[in-house]
């Protein structure tokens, strides 16, 4: 590919084939560390942070980063600025965060806990999966961190919650309802998809996947009884006979409240209003107050719009 055609392809791709990366990092209390990671994301002006969601109780941040993907004459993906941007952010996180010193109300497997790629605009799931596997290979070899692939990035399409259950992700180990340090054996029971089988206690494990858009929706419940909150989550989630395509987890979120943290796998089929109503009904049966839930990110159409506006302003 010559220089002119490469530029033309990039320009066309920039307008129509976009990938969104959700990068979840186990830190939200140290502003200097968060700024360091965000500065790493700005090294390539063609990757744009369009949103971030941080929660000090969970001690967790999610960056939403968007850029384009380039394909060759056969339609195979060959390049995306997101590749090096994500690696730069991961490197900054590993250099600044020690998992053994981390604690929070949200479960996690590593300093860089989860990286998921979603196709936007005219990009396909295959292109998102290619990028996920490319990033995974580099993280495994460069940083010597075990990587577990999921959804479209894995040959069997295994679900992320399957990996998490196998690794004890959902079991609190600190003060009853929180997570602290590293408690999983340093030698993994099974081989990861990339990286070593030995786990660094300071960095942990990372999961990397590619899948269609999912919505993250949290519903606050005024409650002090963990068993009641967990029962509500069980009755909401599909795995235990609740709402189809809904995953839910009860997480402590203050002295007198929990959140029912939901993943809506098919938000156009089972959306936030239905989940909100279900939680309110179940909580009312226990005499509990429920607050209005909230999304932790923009819908995909708005993410594309924000990306286009931000990238245009940079060029101007």
> Average pLDDT per run of 10 along the chain, which is 316 residues long?
47 71 98 98 94 97 97 95 98 98 96 98 96 98 98 97 93 90 83 95 97 98 95 97 97 94 97 98 97 97 95 78
What pLDDT is attached to residue 316?
65
**Alpha-carbon radius of gyration of the chain:** 20
State the Cα torsion 245-65-198-156 to the nearest 10°: 40
The span from the CA of 198 to the CA of 185, in Å, is 9
Q: Is the four-CA dihedral 136, 140, 145, 149 of positive or negative sign? A: positive
Q: Which residues are catalytic?
A: 106
Spell out the alpha helix ranges (H) of 108-196: 125-142, 160-166
Read off the pTM. 0.94
pLDDT of residue 10: 52
Residues 6+ apart with CB under 8 A from 283: 221, 223, 232, 289, 290
Q: For residue 92, what are its two tokens?
A: 């900054």
pLDDT at residue 15 in the model: 56
What pLDDT does 1 receive? Answer: 45
- Residue 12 has what pLDDT? 47
pLDDT for residue 183:
77
Cβ atoms of 296 and 216 within 8 Å: the answer is: yes
How long a stretch of residues is the chain? 316
State the alpha helices, DSSP H only, in the chain: 3-16, 31-41, 81-96, 125-142, 160-166, 226-236, 272-285, 300-315
């Amino acid at each position: 590919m010559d220089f002119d055609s490469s530029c033309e392809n990039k320009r066309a791709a920039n307008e129509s084939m976009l990938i969104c990366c959700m990068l979840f990092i186990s830190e939200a209390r140290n502003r200097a560390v968060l700024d360091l990671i965000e500065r790493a994301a700005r090294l390539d002006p063609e990757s744009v942070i369009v949103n971030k969601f941080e929660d000090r109780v969970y001690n967790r941040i999610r960056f939403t980063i968007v850029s384009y993907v380039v394909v060759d004459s056969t339609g195979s993906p060959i390049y995306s600025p997101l590749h090096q941007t994500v690696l730069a952010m991961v490197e900054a996180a590993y250099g600044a965060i020690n998992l053994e010193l981390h604690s929070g109300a949200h479960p996690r497997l590593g300093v860089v806990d989860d990286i998921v790629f979603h196709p936007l605009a005219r990009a396909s799931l295959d292109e998102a999966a290619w990028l996920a596997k490319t990033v995974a290979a580099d993280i495994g070899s460069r940083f010597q961190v075990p990587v577990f692939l999921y959804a479209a990035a894995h040959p069997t399409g295994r679900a992320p919650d399957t990996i998490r259950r196998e690794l004890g992700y959902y079991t609190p180990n600190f003060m009853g309802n929180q997570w602290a340090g590293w408690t999983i054996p340093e030698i993994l029971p099974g081989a990861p998809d990339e990286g070593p089988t030995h786990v660094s206690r300071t960095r942990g494990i990372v999961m990397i996947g590619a899948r269609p858009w999912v919505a993250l929706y949290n519903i606050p419940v005024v409650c002090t009884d963990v068993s009641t909150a967990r029962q509500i989550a069980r009755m909401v989630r599909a795995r235990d006979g609740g709402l189809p395509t809904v995953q839910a987890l009860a997480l402590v979120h203050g002295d007198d409240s929990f959140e029912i943290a939901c993943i809506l796998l098919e938000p156009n089929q089972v959306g936030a209003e239905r989940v909100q109503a279900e939680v309110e009904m179940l909580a009312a049966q226990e005499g509990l107050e429920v607050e209005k839930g909230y999304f932790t990110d923009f819908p995909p159409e708005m993410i594309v719009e924000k990306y286009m506006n931000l990238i245009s302003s940079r060029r101007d």
